[in-house]
Structure 1
Amino acid sequence: MNQLNNALTLFFSLLVEAIPFLLLGVLFSSTLLLFVDERRLIQLVPKNPLLAAFVGSLIGFLFPVCECGNVPVARRLIVQGAPGAMAIGFLLAAPTVNPIVFWATWTAFRDQPELVFLRVGCSLLIATVIGWVFSTQADLRPLMQPAIARAMPVPPEKPSKGKGKHQDSTPTLLQSGTFILGQQEQPFRLDGNLAAMAALPENPVLSKPFADRLRLMVDNIIQELRELGGILILGSAVAAIVQIAVPREVVLGLGQGQVSSIVAMMVLACIVSICSTVDSFFALSFASTFTTGSLLAFLIFGPMIDLKNIALLLSVFRTRAIVYLFLLAGQMTFLIALLVNLYVS
């Protein structure tokens, strides 16, 4: 009975600390996604691939979305003709490199401020490098799902050959939880050239009356809260159960190893799939038993690659592209966390 009481106490304490940040994150991201046009950002992106990846990684400050919302936004950037380096950089960094997650992490780890800045800085570094690596693929369409590939503009230097007959069969784009591409709206059809793309409206939502945009924003907030709230409750329950049910000796054995602690927390981050807005409070429950590097690995790797996010990524990318992302992000996260364990902890 005492263990049950301890588990319930930990469970509700995690929820009480995390829910305000979840509400703020959903409200802020829904407002920006429905009232800001990302096409204007694309026009300002530097031509240099490394700089484009860096700029894309910083866009999270303008679109503070968690890993549940970054995939739809990255998808729209891609079909609008954004450089691949920019889109990949945004995809990996946005869930972490944004003011809401920074504030939440600072609140959870105010006694370890170095962990807060390492999280943001290392996430920015990893996203920029991976975006730069993907920029070597001049045409990202072979890495995309067919529906997305057909909606993307053809790079001017490599126009498509012999496939014109299939360009008119663009299917309806994905019907996910975002209203930016429309759940019941008519999807945009890109004819495979930049001129056609430029003639499109800037944003399917910005053209609507203010009252309609406000209604869509409220609907989006409700939908995201329903989805993310369930994930938050599940993640908090897992954290409480692990802390109470797993023998202390096992936790200490894994948590204090320089390598084992990192691997354990990366696997946990992938499985638990908790929202980046509140994952710092989840990690905080392991702060007394796991190394600093392993906590950092959890905070970096989880928002980039987890089971929930992989399912969303599969709606945009082919499997091999996700494997590339997974391996690159995993290797870089592990190396950084190991260096922190060896030289910072």
Structure 2
Amino acid sequence: MTQLHNAFTLFLSLLVEAFPFLLLGVSLSSALLIFIDERKLIAILPKNPFLGAVAGSCIGFLFPVCECGNVPVARRLLMQGMPNSAAIGFLLAAPTINPIVIWSTWVAFRDQPEIVVFRVVFSLAIAITIGWIFSVQKDPRPMLQPLLAQRITTISRRPKFSRYPDKNEAKSESVLLQSGTFLLGTAGTPLKMEEMSAGGLSLSSNQSGEFTQRLGLFVENVSQELRELGGMLIIGSAIAACLQVFVPREIILNLGQSTISSIIAMMLLAAIVSICSTVDSFFALSFASTFTTSSLLAFLVFGPMIDIKAIGLMLSIFKPRMIMYLFALAAQLTFILVLCHSYFF
């Protein structure tokens, strides 16, 4: 009973810690939908796959969200036609490459500023490399969950993601026979949530500036995405809490006796503990006296990209096989980079 109580306590703590950042990410995603024409942002991204991965990895400076909040933003950008390289680069880099996390890492490791520098450099290098690799897949829909792929298909029917819907498009299928979330627009016409954006709200000219209607759409989209992503967050937090309680931590800590085993141990610990990237540097600081700097870097770089809680959220975007590829590539690149750090620095 004591272990169950501890597991439930950890589950609630993970959920309470992660939910505000999930809400922040969902709010940013909904703001993209309602108040910003994100297709203008996507249009200025470089067409070159490598440069697109670089640009996508640096967008985290504009959207300071952790691994709980970057998923809804990345999903929204994918729906609006962001290239694979940029979207995956953002998904992997945003939890680390943002001002809040960089500042918290600096506060925790003020006496070791090289950790801050290498955390940013390694995270960027991994995100850009993986984004570049997946740029080979031009059409993202085979990698995505069926529902998300269907939404992208619906939106992409408009030529080049046109700002306005085609007025001459034949409406052969009744909206009553279509799936999705609908809102009641002007003159009683139904508006499909999946097909709307800041540039295509289908508002009449005399209502386009009405704040109340845009706010209603914003609230509706927040509630919709919270329903879809909240369940994944609960499942991921429950698994992470059970592993923390029922897998003895001594098994992992005992591995930290050599260079290679300590790196692997801290990567496993990062995946299991699932601490938010905004506070994980303080958790890693508690191991500074027993683990090497390279293993601490492994924890700080790998954890924000791939942890159990984040995997649960990623399942709302990608198919399981795609997540396995992301996990394997991120783990290998992290291990190689921090191992090189241990030998050359």
- Structure-1-length-normalised TM-score: 0.70
Contact 2:29–2:76, Cα closer than 8 Å, also in 1: no
Query: How many residue pairs get matched?
Result: 294
Amino acid at match of 2:201: P
**Match of residue 172 from structure 1:** 180
CA deviation after TM superposition for structure 1 residue 139, in Å: 1.0
CA deviation after TM superposition for structure 1 residue 331, in Å: 0.4
- Distance, in Å, in 2 between the alignment partners of 1:170 and 1:131 is 34
**Match of residue 193 from structure 2:** 187
Contact 2:25–2:73, Cα closer than 8 Å, also in 1: no
Q: Deviations over 1:140-179 (max 9, x none)?
A: 111111111111145989xxxxxxx99x987438xxxxxx
- Distance, in Å, in 2 between the alignment partners of 1:75 and 1:218 is 13
RMSD: 4.5
Q: Give 3-state SS (helix, strand or coil) of 1:188's partner.
A: helix
CA deviation after TM superposition for structure 1 residue 40, in Å: 2.5
CA deviation after TM superposition for structure 1 residue 302, in Å: 0.9
CA deviation after TM superposition for structure 1 residue 341, in Å: 1.4
- Distance, in Å, in 2 between the alignment partners of 1:215 and 1:74 is 19
**Match of residue 46 from structure 1:** 46
Amino acid at match of 1:187: M
Q: Which moved more, 1:210-219 or 1:305-314?
A: 210-219
**Match of residue 278 from structure 2:** 277
**Match of residue 143 from structure 1:** 143
Identify unmatched segments of 5+ residues in structure 1: 1-14, 16-20, 158-164, 174-184, 191-196
Amino acid at match of 2:281: S
Q: Deviations over 1:190-221 (max 9, x none)?
A: 8xxxxxx896339xxx975387699789999x
Would the alpha carbon gap of residues 78 and 218 (structure 1) be closer, same or farther in structure 2, given more than 3 Å must change? closer
Contact 1:150–1:170, Cα closer than 8 Å, also in 2: no
Contact 1:58–1:93, Cα closer than 8 Å, also in 2: yes
- Distance, in Å, in 1 between the alignment partners of 2:310 and 2:301 is 14
Amino acid at match of 1:317: F
Q: Deviations over 1:298-330 (max 9, x none)?
A: 111111111111111111111111111111111
- Distance, in Å, in 1 between the alignment partners of 2:178 and 2:280 is 38
Q: Give 3-state SS (helix, strand or coil) of 1:254's partner.
A: coil
- Distance, in Å, in 2 between the alignment partners of 1:317 and 1:188 is 18
Contact 1:151–1:170, Cα closer than 8 Å, also in 2: no
Identify unmatched segments of 5+ residues in structure 2: 1-12, 161-171, 182-190, 203-208
CA deviation after TM superposition for structure 1 residue 26, in Å: 7.7
Contact 2:270–2:302, Cα closer than 8 Å, also in 1: yes
Would the alpha carbon gap of residues 34 and 309 (structure 1) be closer, same or farther in structure 2, given more than 3 Å must change? same
Contact 1:256–1:291, Cα closer than 8 Å, also in 2: no
- Distance, in Å, in 2 between the alignment partners of 1:32 and 1:149 is 21
**Match of residue 205 from structure 2:** none
- Distance, in Å, in 2 between the alignment partners of 1:287 and 1:61 is 28
- Counting aligned pairs with the same residue, the percent is 51
- Distance, in Å, in 1 between the alignment partners of 2:124 and 2:62 is 15
**Residue 269 of structure 2 is aligned to residue 268 of structure 1:** yes
Amino acid at match of 1:49: P
Q: Give 3-state SS (helix, strand or coil) of 1:139's partner.
A: coil
- Structure-2-length-normalised TM-score: 0.70
Q: Deviations over 1:100-146 (max 9, x none)?
A: 00001111111111011111111011101111110001111111111
Contact 1:25–1:100, Cα closer than 8 Å, also in 2: no
- Distance, in Å, in 1 between the alignment partners of 2:22 and 2:319 is 28
Contact 1:262–1:334, Cα closer than 8 Å, also in 2: yes
Would the alpha carbon gap of residues 31 and 314 (structure 1) be closer, same or farther in structure 2, given more than 3 Å must change? closer
**Match of residue 75 from structure 2:** 75
**Match of residue 297 from structure 1:** 298
